[in-house]
Amino acid sequence: MKQILLLLSFSFLLFTGCKPKSKNTDEKTAVDSLLTIPGYSTLIGSYVGGFGNNKITLLITRAVADTIEGRSVVGGNDRPFSGTVQFSNGIYTAQAKEPGDDQYDGAFSFSFNSKVPDSLSGSWKPNNPTAQVQSKDFSLKRRAFVYLVDVGMYPQASKVLLTDEEVANMLKADLQMMRNEIFARHGYCFKKKELREQFEDKDWYIPHTVDVKTDLTEIEKKNIALIKRYEKYADEFGDDYGR
């Protein structure tokens, strides 16, 4: 009898010692491990600021695992980039390259402090440096593009239909400003340097795209056509035309 009791006691200890962990314990361990993974989605957004003599918008559209993707809009160019991102000691560090099939393509290196989520700083190096295309450092602020209708010197050009009487006696330079402000309100990134210089010092202007055809309102389209017609007259007749 004593031997039977010892055998039963040993079997009980063996069963309880080999009992698997509960499902709840496994789930808790899995959740704890997920909490240690950094949230790269925090990086996603639009960052704006100076980039040499231009204004740049760096749009981060995807950040997952160790991959980062986005676009840069600057100097009349809209270029995609992709690369890697790492997280260490509260700092996100990214290395990303543009495709390389454009003369202005290069590579970005930037960092993002998780304690300062609205700032991003780094540098860009061109693939083919020249006197015109050189490395640049940048410090950008998180700013999303928003179409604002009440900005600029001539906001009425985006709000109401203009009449011939309103534009007939305007100088050509003023007509051009009125027309280009319409594009600037939609975040159009101008190719011509002289046009960029007219807007890039304006706080409301955020270069966001190089194509606004589908963004223009019907009022804006009609006003652009009217303004261009009077710009043409100003070229042909100069001061003799209603001046």
CATH assignment at residue 134: 2.40.128
Residue 167 CB neighbour total at 10 angstroms? 22
pLDDT category at 41 given cuts 50, 70, 90 is confident
Q: How many CA atoms lie within 13 A of 95 on its CB side?
A: 2
Same domain, 119 and 184: no
Over residues 27-44, the mean pLDDT reads 54
Query: What integer pLDDT is reported at residue 127 of this predicted model?
Result: 97
Same domain, 124 and 164: no
Return d(Cα 120, Cα 96) in angstroms, integer.
14
Average pLDDT for the chain: 86
Last residue in a domain, options 142, 165, 199:
142
Cα distances from 20 to residues 23, 26, 33, in angstroms, run: 9, 10, 20
Residue 66 belongs to some domain of the structure: yes
Same domain, 131 and 162: no
Query: What integer pLDDT is reported at residue 237 of this predicted model?
Result: 62
Residue 21 belongs to some domain of the structure: no
Give residue-wise pLDDT tens across range 167-182: 998 999 999 999 999 9
| DSSP code string of 74-115 | ETTEEEEEEEEEEEETTEEEEEEE--S-STT-EEEEEEEETT
Please give the residue range of the domain that contains residue 181: 155-240
Residues with Cβ within 8 Å of 114's Cβ and at least 6 positions away in sequence, in order, are 38, 42, 87, 90, 91, 92
Query: What integer pLDDT is reported at residue 239 of this predicted model?
Result: 53
Maximum mean pLDDT: which of 34-38, 230-234, 239-243:
230-234
Return d(Cα 122, Cα 197) in angstroms, integer.
23
Tell the residue number behind the tokens 């676009």, with chain if given. Answer: 71
Contact assessment for residue 73 and residue 56, using Cβ atoms and an 8 Å cutoff: yes
| DSSP code string of 128-186 | S--SSS--EEEEEEE------SS-SS-GGGGTS---HHHHTT--HHHHHHHHHHHHHHT
* pLDDT over 60 at 29, yes or no: no
Query: What integer pLDDT is reported at residue 42 of this predicted model?
Result: 86
Ramachandran sector of residue 242 (left: φ over 0; alpha: ψ -120 to 50; beta: rest)? left
3-state secondary structure of 239: helix
Last residue in a domain, options 113, 142, 171:
142
Query: What integer pLDDT is reported at residue 117 of this predicted model?
Result: 87
| Relative orientation angle of helices 218-237 and 172-185, to the nearest 10 degrees | 160
* pLDDT over 60 at 10, yes or no: no
